A and B are shown apart, each in its own frame.
Chain A
Amino acid sequence: MPNDELLKMRHIEKRFPGVLALHNVDFTLRKGEIHALMGENGAGKSTLIKVLTGVYQMEDGEITLEDKAVVIHSPQDAANKGISTVYQEITLCPNLTVAENMYIGREDSVWIKHKDYEKKANEILNKLGIPARGTQMLGSCSLAVQQMVAIARAVDMKCKVLILDEPTSSLDDKEVNMLFDLMRDLKAQGVGIIFVTHFLEQVYEVSDRITVLRNGELVGEYLCEELPQVELVAKMMGKELDELSDFEKSESSKVNEKEVFYEAKDLSSSEALAFDFQIRKGEVNGFTGLLGSGRSESVRAIFGADKVTGGHIKVNGKDVKITKPVEAMKNGIGYLAEDRKRDGIIAELSVRENIILALQVMNGFFKPISRSEAESFADEYIKVLNIKTASRETPVGSLSGGNQQKVILARWLLTHPDYLILDEPTRGIDVGTKLEIQKLVLKLASEGVSVTFISSEVEEMLRTCSRLIVMRDRHIVGELTGSQLNQAEVMKTIAGGEG
């Protein structure tokens, strides 16, 4: 059935200074198919997408769209040819209405015909079953609906190829299902969908085929049902999963003998309601709960990231005051923020400068770390954490997400913290790096460092934490340890299981 083939990319080559980002990559998308594009960070997924959407120009290779060879000059050009992308971060304007967002930049005359747009928008929203109205402010919709509006915009632009780049990373389960229903709808209408994601289960839930890339090269194209999940992971990483999951978490009974490192009573901040919390030396615990349950706000209060409004804090049994990040740092606490781009990296500064930043702050304004010392620190952690960067002087903003995260981890590890708070350290990064980070957490704990680990993937927390604090509606509603640490129990507690 060669006529099914909607999009063919053949022998794609793309080079960046010093790196061969794509080498001889083939990709085929058929009509009415959901095709998952998988690979670790730096495997070349994003580059391939950017070549396809005209953000990058390929050095070699050819692209055929509906049996016609095409050259794609710019994202605008791609959209005109029927290739639309919905990105991980929503790129629409929250302060405009849904209808305006769907037609912005597409007006054929200078006069914006609001009424027409609203009517047309409502029609298409209805047809796709998206719960939004054209007159509504986009910002008042949930993230999932915003994402769907972006898709509706693409559909309305008569797209034949729809690229969804990590569309589910900030959605909850219900929203993900809504999105999947929409994707299946579009599939039935003959749209070819390229689905880029890190969530393996989701791939198997909706996709028909999987193409795996590794280190800029094609590993292969598979039918979903013919490739078990374990094999997929192995193909992505080029290793067997077993050898990577050989870590064991510390037993809670052992941890309970150790002394308490940090203790808070009635700690509250401008964002978090008062709560009690403690962590022992070498303990790994976690905050869990749905988005908005207050888990991030709570750990931010521990670090003094928001305005602290009350509470008694003891570190190593001594009363201390922690109201600002720098005070937390002086007490041996490190905090890896949830939003890497906004609160983590200093994008234009080099890997070296980003790594030494926290240590420099702790050393003080008048004791700068010398260049040679900074270089050796950077080199050390680039090696230890296996950070993939052209050099230590590369601006951190140009690294892939997982490697940026490693740079921030390196920044905190360099301060040799006694207590490290990791808020969503594995969000939006690939399986291999995720496992590396989990392993690192357990290694730190075995060295006596206390770690609070937050992840929206419960499984990941079950694997690393010996105690889980469950939050609902900004209150702590339960603490799970030992045999209670299983998926069912966590879900029950999050949902308020008794009733």
Chain B
Amino acid sequence: MKLKKFNGLGQLTIPVIAIALLVIFNLIRDPGFFSIGIMHNNDGNVVLAGNLISIINGASELAVLAMGMTLVTAACGGQDISVGAAAAIAGSVFVKVLKSGNSISGGTVLLAFLLACIVAMIFGSFNGTLVAVFKIQPMIATLILYTCGRSIAYWINGGATPTVNSPIINAIGSFIPGVPIPTPVLIVVCMAIIFKLLFKFTSLELFTQSVGINGSAARLNGINATFIKLLSFIILGVCVAVAGSIGVSRLGLINHETLLIDIEMDTILAVAIGGNSLGGGKFKISGSIIGAYVIQMLTITLYAMKVSSTDVKAYKAIVIILLVVIGSPVVKKWFNKVIDRMKNKSVAAQKGV
């Protein structure tokens, strides 16, 4: 009975187990690890604090990017490796607009974000056109922006790393006065809801999966595969702009060299840990979000164990190998066989009585 329920999670089995194991491990190591405290921050707000909060907060950019990456992966059967560089461009545009006036009002921030979105969507369409129209493999197509993206970001602010001082930006990067939950977490929730609504009010999910699983059949059923692939890159562009803006707001400055550096690989990993096939087809956005939290929790756990930041990557790799192997079809098949055998045995035992 228990085993059956366990199978019922389907695609989410691995990420959920991973997160559960990490939680249990941490609780054994330090029972107080996940305790959530209430404290006053520098701005005098009452806010939630603790490791759990910092994990969920810290994974925000990764979670947002993973949502968009899931869609690109599903439609195109490949990944966009330029999201980090594109986020640096979007972040630079965001800052450029913020710095253009004398004071930063709510309107300026909105305008800055919208422009960052538009720019990121344009770069997304560039990637998308290479993939969907010219049929270049996604990883090769996005290698271009991956290589030159941070140079473009450098040009936007003339090579400087300007800082932004504004209570609004501060609120986006940390806490809105009166709200104890970190704003980036709220943004992730908003994005997740937007995706949910997108799937509810459009045929995006069905069409994306059809294109990813069987492009030829999708075309013969009248689906415009080129459009769907392009659209997935444009949506990822929006995610890139959101992630870039969060990153900038957290630090209050744009550093085109370090903003969300190396995040593309973590993003792809989050999609994979979420049980989504990197070859495209069926997908679950929720899996990728959990995947993002798994990665972040792993990182924080390692830091909490006083592993040095150089060593963290190696330990992360070990855990990830385990996760990927456990999630592989070979192990799954073997696992199902074992469960079947156990079931048969228990049935036989009952018959024997």
Inter-chain contact A347/B222, CB cutoff 8 Å: no
Q: Which residue of B lies closest to A344 (CB)?
A: B217
Q: How far is the CB of A94 from chain B (nearest CB, A)?
A: 19
Inter-chain contact B224/A349, CB cutoff 8 Å: no
Q: How far is the CB of B216 from chain A (nearest CB, A)?
A: 5
Inter-chain contact A337/B220, CB cutoff 8 Å: yes
Determine the chain A residues whose CB is within 8 A of the CB of B201 once the complex forms. 366, 368
Inter-chain contact A368/B200, CB cutoff 8 Å: yes
Inter-chain contact A343/B203, CB cutoff 8 Å: no
Number of B interface residues in the complex (CB < 8 A): 22
Instruction: Tell yes or no: B202 within 8 A of A by CB.
Output: yes
Number of A interface residues in the complex (CB < 8 A): 31
A residues 350-375 near B (Cβ < 8 Å) are 353, 356-358, 360-368
Determine the chain A residues whose CB is within 8 A of the CB of B216 once the complex forms. 342-343
A-B contact count (CB 8 A): 75
Q: B221 contacts which of A347, A348, A357, A366 (Cβ < 8 Å)?
A: A357
Inter-chain contact A345/B220, CB cutoff 8 Å: no
Inter-chain contact B221/A361, CB cutoff 8 Å: yes
Q: Which residue of A lies closest to B277 (CB)?
A: A348
Interface 1/0s, chain B 199-225, versus A by CB < 8 A? 011111011011001101111111110
Q: How far is the CB of A412 from chain B (nearest CB, A)?
A: 9
Q: How far is the CB of A374 from chain B (nearest CB, A)?
A: 9
Interface of B is mostly: helix
Inter-chain contact A362/B202, CB cutoff 8 Å: no
Inter-chain contact A349/B210, CB cutoff 8 Å: yes
Inter-chain contact A353/B206, CB cutoff 8 Å: yes
Q: Which of B202, B213, B214 has the most CB of A within 10 A?
A: B214
Determine the chain A residues whose CB is within 8 A of the CB of B220 once the complex forms. 303, 305, 325, 335, 337, 343-344
Q: Which of A305, A324, A353, A368 has the most CB of B within 10 A?
A: A368
Inter-chain contact B210/A346, CB cutoff 8 Å: yes
Inter-chain contact A325/B221, CB cutoff 8 Å: yes
Instruction: Tell yes or no: A326 within 8 A of B by CB.
Output: yes
Instruction: Tell yes or no: B282 within 8 A of A by CB.
Output: yes
Determine the chain B residues whose CB is within 8 A of the CB of A324 once the complex forms. 222
Instruction: Tell yes or no: A329 within 8 A of B by CB.
Output: yes
A residues 361-405 near B (Cβ < 8 Å) are 361-368
B residues 176-209 near A (Cβ < 8 Å) are 200-204, 206-207, 209
Interface 1/0s, chain A 313-349, versus B by CB < 8 A? 0000000000011101100000101000011111111
Q: A353-B206, A366-B201 are in contact. Are A361 and B217 (CB under 8 A)?
A: no
Complex CA distance for A349 and B217, rounded to whole angstroms:
12
Inter-chain contact A346/B222, CB cutoff 8 Å: no
Determine the chain A residues whose CB is within 8 A of the CB of B200 once the complex forms. 368
Q: How far is the CB of A219 from chain B (nearest CB, A)?
A: 28
Instruction: Tell yes or no: B281 within 8 A of A by CB.
Output: yes
Inter-chain contact A368/B202, CB cutoff 8 Å: yes
Q: Which residue of B lies closest to A366 (CB)?
A: B202
Determine the chain B residues whose CB is within 8 A of the CB of A343 once the complex forms. 216-217, 220
Determine the chain B residues whose CB is within 8 A of the CB of A349 once the complex forms. 206, 209-210, 213, 282
Determine the chain A residues whose CB is within 8 A of the CB of B223 once the complex forms. 326, 361
Inter-chain contact A365/B222, CB cutoff 8 Å: no
Complex CA distance for A356 and B223, rounded to whole angstroms:
13
Q: Which residue of A lies closest to B228 (CB)?
A: A365
Interface 1/0s, chain B 208-246, versus A by CB < 8 A? 011001101111111110000000000000000000000
Inter-chain contact A365/B207, CB cutoff 8 Å: yes
Q: How far is the CB of B282 from chain A (nearest CB, A)?
A: 5
Q: How far is the CB of A17 from chain B (nearest CB, A)?
A: 9
Determine the chain B residues whose CB is within 8 A of the CB of A335 once the complex forms. 220
Determine the chain B residues whose CB is within 8 A of the CB of A329 once the complex forms. 222
Q: How far is the CB of A461 from chain B (nearest CB, A)?
A: 23
Q: Which residue of B lies closest to A349 (CB)?
A: B209
List chain A positions with a Cβ less than 8 A from chain B.
303, 305, 324-326, 328-329, 335, 337, 342-349, 353, 356-358, 360-368, 411
5 more contacts with CB within 8 A, not counting A324-B222, A365-B207, are A325-B219, A326-B223, A349-B206, A366-B203, A411-B221
